[in-house]
Amino acid sequence: MRFTHGKHAFIVATHVDKKHIHNHIIFNPINIECTGKFKNPMHSNKIIRRVSDQICLENGLSVIENPMPSRGKDYSDWMGGWRAKLERLINKILAEKPGSFDDFIKRLEAEKCEVKLCKYTSVRMGGQKKFTRLKSLSPDYTEDAIREKISGARSVQREEKPAPAAPQPSAFMLDFQDRIKALKENPATQGAKVFNIKQIAASFMFMQDHGIPDIDSLRAHAQAAKDDFNKINPRIKTIDARLAAITELQKHIGAYIKTRDVYAGYKKAGYSKKYLAEHSDEIARHKAAKQFFDAQNLKKLPTIQKLKQEFAALLDEKKKLYGDLKTMRVDMQNILTVEQNISSFYGFRDDRTQKETDRTGR
């Protein structure tokens, strides 16, 4: 219901007759009003898995922390595939004890199979598009193995591959499930909105997605996120200060260049009061620029072009830093929220347990 938002009919069929209890989820691509089609998002299977995992966590049920990646099998292979079907047919014919390999081939053809006898014997079953070479089957179903079976020199037994060990949940996962169950089963908290279980489960899913195994690691990640975020602001302030300095320097260089000839004439006139009165503004700006250069200990003035290039580079860096700052702020807020949720959840349980212990002691 969370995934479809109630807009599409669906069926969830649970297999409880297998060692690994699992669900088959089917939903109608046409919405209930028959006015539109489902827009399948990218990686929708992963989205469904996340929704399923979160619901399980909300109810204190187990989830697979590190699921094995899909092998990408075709649906027909998942259902058994043509090779498996051919091996089952070979078992059936061998059980009838054919007298020779030629007899075996005739029985295959009687089962509506097309056989190519060439360098590598190949078989195509009815409905199959391509031929299957016997050499590509399991070791007990190659042409040599079949001949040995017919002659009695070999006992055919399929090698069963051991099932991969089921991933074991971590201690933190088991503890989290126990706490959720205890919270739900405790009469004191039933019906009370002590915690937003959905929010707590979502926080736990965040830890899983980011490979954070326990609370100590969560706190370390949160602190690292704050440290990384706080490193950017000083650099932005340094860039702003340099941009302001470049702007001020450009202003004085421009004034110095524009008034240079006027000041040279002032010197040539022997620092005449009359010349000063006629060009007081230009001379004042020239002196102010020179005083600024002396205060900055500038022996040689940089070119305007070089300053423009530095200014542009700093602006680009600042723009990138602001983009990083925005992303890091969101990441920091997310992990701090998760840390607060998880710490609050565990702190609540610990405090309550301590109070119950104190009351029992009294």
- Which amino acid does the sequence have at 290? K
Residue 351 has a pLDDT of 44
Q: Indicate the pLDDT class of residue 256, thresholds 50, 70 and 90.
A: confident
Q: At what angle do helices 44-58 and 197-209 cross, to 10 degrees?
A: 130
| pLDDT per position as a tens digit, 54-89 | 887 777 777 776 666 555 444 444 445 788 888 889
Strand partners, 122: 116, 133
Q: Kindly report the length of the chain.
A: 362
Contact 27, 8 (CB under 8 A): yes
Quick check: helix, strand or coil at residue 87?
Answer: helix
Structure tokens at 79: 């259902």
- Residue 190 pLDDT class (50, 70, 90 cuts): low
Question: Whole-angstrom Cα distance, residue 134 to residue 104?
Answer: 13
Gap between the Cα atoms of 147 and 101, Å rounded:
6
Mean pLDDT, range 225-237, rounded to an integer: 87
Burial of residue 279 (number of CB atoms within 10 Å: 0-12, 13-18, 19+)? middle
The percentage of residues in the chain with a pLDDT greater than 70, rounded to a whole number, is 83
- Determine contact, residues 206/334, Cβ cutoff 8 Å: yes
- 57 in Cβ contact with 47 (< 8 Å): no
pLDDT band with cut points at 50, 70 and 90 for residue 358: very low
Between CA 12 and CA 278 the distance in angstroms is 94
pTM: predicted TM-score of the whole model, two decimal places: 0.46
pLDDT band at residue 353 under the 50/70/90 scheme:
very low
Go through 246-259 and write b for each residue having 16 or more CB atoms within 10 A of its CB, e for each that does not.
beebeebbebbeeb
State mean pLDDT over 131-147.
Answer: 88
Work out the average pLDDT over 248-264: 89
Domain boundary assignment for the chain: 77-151, 223-336
Asked if residue 286 lies in contact with residue 214, where contact means CB atoms within 8 angstroms, the answer is no
Q: How far apart are CA 257 and CA 262, in angstroms?
A: 10
* Contact partners, residue 39, CB within 8 Å, separation at least 6: none
Contacts of 292 (CB under 8 A, 6+ apart): 248, 249, 252
Q: What is the DSSP string of 97-160?
A: --SSHHHHHHHHHHTT-EEE-SSS-EEE-TT-SS-EEGGGS-GGGSHHHHHHHHHTS----PPP
Average model confidence (pLDDT) across the chain:
80
- Inter-residue contact 101 to 116 (CB < 8 Å): no
- pLDDT greater at residue 48 or residue 291: 291
pLDDT digits (tens, 9 = 90+) for 294-338: 888 888 888 889 999 999 999 999 998 888 888 888 888 888 888
At residue 9, the pLDDT reads 92
Return the pLDDT at 355. 46
